[in-house]
Amino acid sequence: MKVAIVGAGPAGCHLARLLASSEHGILLFDHRAPYEKPCGGGLSPLVGQRFPEVMALPFPRHQPSRVVLRASDGSQLEQTLDPSHWAIVSRAALGQAMLECALANGRVRHVRQRVTGVKRAGRGWSVCTASGSTFLADFVVGADGVRSLVRQEVVGPIPRQHLSLAVGYRVQGAPDAVVFQTYDDLDGYLWSFPRADHASVGIATRLGAVPPQELWQRVDRFLDQVCLEAAKRDRYSALLPIAWDASLWDSPCAGPDWALLGDAAGHVHPLTGEGIGYALWSAELLAEALARGTPESYESLWRAEYGAVFLAANALLSSTSWDEGAYELVFHLVMAMALQSPGQAH
């Protein structure tokens, strides 16, 4: 079977590596990979404990020993981080390492062309690129992010109510600690993730909840409080898939000849925003389903493995939607658990 994977981020590269020893022909499409992404770049304990082979890849990493959870009333909780289960990375460096790993045995072909369309072609798929080329495949995988072209073709785009807006800066001079700041009037949070030479400082909340300029102002105020001498550079903004209620999971993530992974599937923790760990997990489960010869079983696999975690988070979100400050309390509880171990977060 010829498998076309659209998107060479963590989900796409991990799946390609897992399938590279199979009899499948693998086409991995991404014209930019590896590239820097507007993202904190945190590899959480979920990644560290469940995917040690990813943590063992040769990419530069920064491992601060402290995480600080700050609340709107000025209180804060500090935890010590186990460096063996946590790292902050450049997404470009992580992407480079994962791509090289996927291509290592020569069975995966990296197509460095921008995909412009994915359409059904007989019993399979045609993948069209900006250069005018068309590639045929038996199975197509959407690992192409929140605006996934594959998702648009098979189930439609992620609905607007399940999108969040993130804005931020790359900053020099920020404290060498992971910081999460919450607010009693915002369903979302601010983060500061230090790397070796700068920090990613940003904030995210549901799309349309507040004007973007207000989000920038909150980031500016935070930086004025914690690091007045910080040098801000490289503004960024991005959309994130966040299931603000359980209706997102009404859409399937797999069919007989297609599947969606990571952000394209909306597989981001609805409260913590954890994305990379679930992207890797989704790739692992799809590889398992393909190895069984039952690709549609990926749907039941992800729902059984971590779907209940998402539903539980959605239930918490629903219970806090009319109570000012309740989101903040729930976020601190869930994040404190997530930073300790995946088992406790679940």
Per-residue model confidence (pLDDT) at position 340: 66
- The number of beta carbons lying within 10 Å of the beta carbon of residue 194 is 23
Closest-CA residue to 37 (of 234, 172, 215): 234
In three-state form (DSSP H/G/I as H, E/B as E, the rest C), the secondary structure along 4-53 is: EEECCCHHHHHHHHHHCCCCCEEEEECCCCCCCCCCCCEECHHHHHHCHH
pTM: 0.94
Closest-CA residue to 33 (of 121, 83, 101, 122): 101
Per-residue model confidence (pLDDT) at position 145: 97
CATH class label, 2-160+243-345: alpha beta
> Do 188 and 328 contact (CB within 8 A), yes or no?
no
Domain residue spans in the chain? 2-160+243-345
Per-residue model confidence (pLDDT) at position 321: 62
What does the pLDDT profile of the chain (346 residues) look like in tens digits? 999 999 999 999 999 999 999 989 999 999 999 998 888 889 988 998 899 999 999 999 999 989 999 999 999 989 888 777 789 999 999 999 999 999 998 999 999 999 999 999 999 999 999 999 999 999 999 999 999 999 999 999 999 999 999 999 999 888 899 999 999 999 999 999 998 888 999 999 999 999 999 999 999 999 998 887 778 778 999 999 999 999 999 999 999 999 999 999 999 999 989 999 999 999 999 999 999 999 999 999 999 999 999 999 999 888 766 567 788 888 888 887 777 644 434 3
